[in-house]
Amino acid sequence: MADVLRRAQFAQAYETFQASMCMFGTPAFGITSIENQGESLPVSVTVEVQTPFCRLLRFGLCAGKDAVARPRLLLCAPQAGHHAALMRTAVRSLLNESDVYVTDWIDARDIPREAGAFGLDDHVLALERFMARLGPADLDVLAVCQATVPALAAAARLAASPGPELRSLVLMGGPVDARCHPTAIGRAASRVSRESFADRYTGVVPHGYAGAGRIVYPGFLQLSALASGQPARQAGLFLDAMRGVFLGDPAAISASMAAAIDYSATVDLPAEFIADTIDVVFHRFLLPRGKWRVAGASVRPGVMRGTHLLTVEGAEDTITGAGQTHAAHTLCRNLPPAFHEQITVADCDHYGLFSGKPWLVRVYPLLQRRMVAWRAPAPAGGRGTASPARHSADGRS
């Protein structure tokens, strides 16, 4: 009887949340052109790869008769409850130098049960396939938040294979080693057992959706978890919109409301994926302990020897704790010293790492300079014991 009541309560909460999302619609990238040196350049968007769980989108400049091949960058958007469109500011910036490929994770409510399960290991293997398809030797990879863990694992698996390594790997604001300065979200995850998670935080997608019958961690619970990690963010977004109303600034109102909708529009995630993430990342810390196995093989970042590694953290990030992302340098211990760099950006929260003024003014210009250097012909040099270059908390280097 209690189980029947719980299912009914979940279904009611689910439908209420879905109805509220329908009022605003699904956030879109909305990138049709970019401004480059005073010129408006049209942008094309195509689906490079389609799987039941992810679309790999390609954003590129519309080709003309004199078009030349541009560098490729894989943006690994987090499978953490938000739509990948939350990355639109980063995509628009990165298009200035690169064709940008984005992992657009599909709402689990729209994935038929027949597609099967999708755990954290499946995420790693999906990223590895995308990297291999795009050509690792000439590929720059940028992974954000949750995606840093599977992206590092995928890069390590490529390095352990007979083929080439990635040219560069940028990890931003992710829990590579969640033992470092745990945040409220990390502490909450560490206290939840797999059984408790399944009992208290998952439910079945109701009839009427393509994924009916699939067990999910619902978007409305993830929104609550994110709000608890940064309680002032959503209120601040709506206050910005109200300030625009008071000042009679339509552009400010529109931008603030769009940001608030992006933040609030969360998706369902496969329950097994979140359970795996809690276990691997927050309970047993398998990656930093060297104990993680994916598809029967150990994940060994230490085998990476030719990938430029840059880690970026926000000094005000309350989602991912200080040092959690920079910990990747210790794991990638056999990279040459010059291939290590870590940046902590002052006055930057979690979302500022890929959006808003911190991204535009500090993070992107820094990344732009690094990509120019990485893409230049590499000078001959020896390799030694790695010691990551550290830069000041204001992000200057």
Q: What is the mean pLDDT of residues 312-329?
A: 96
pLDDT band (50, 70, 90) for residue 12: confident
Q: What is the pLDDT of residues 235-269, one digit of tens each?
A: 566 666 666 666 666 766 666 666 667 777 789 99
Q: What is the pLDDT of residues 60-101, one digit of tens each?
A: 998 665 567 899 999 999 999 889 999 999 999 999 999 999
Length of the chain: 397
Q: With contact defined as beta carbons under 8 Å apart, do 45 and 88 qualify?
A: no
d(CA 188, CA 281): 13
Q: With contact defined as beta carbons under 8 Å apart, do 110 and 51 qualify?
A: no
Residue 382 is predicted with a pLDDT of 42
d(CA 351, CA 334): 31
d(CA 392, CA 61): 35
Residue 235 is predicted with a pLDDT of 58
Tally the C-alpha atoms within 13 A of residue 203's C-alpha that lie toward its C-beta. 25
For the beta sheet containing 269-270, the strands, ordered from the edge strand earlier in sequence to the opposite edge, are 203-204, 215-217, 269-270
**Which class is 2-390 in CATH?**
alpha beta
Out of 128-142, 261-275, 346-360, the most confident range is 128-142
The pTM (predicted TM-score) of the whole model is 0.88
Residue 247 is predicted with a pLDDT of 67
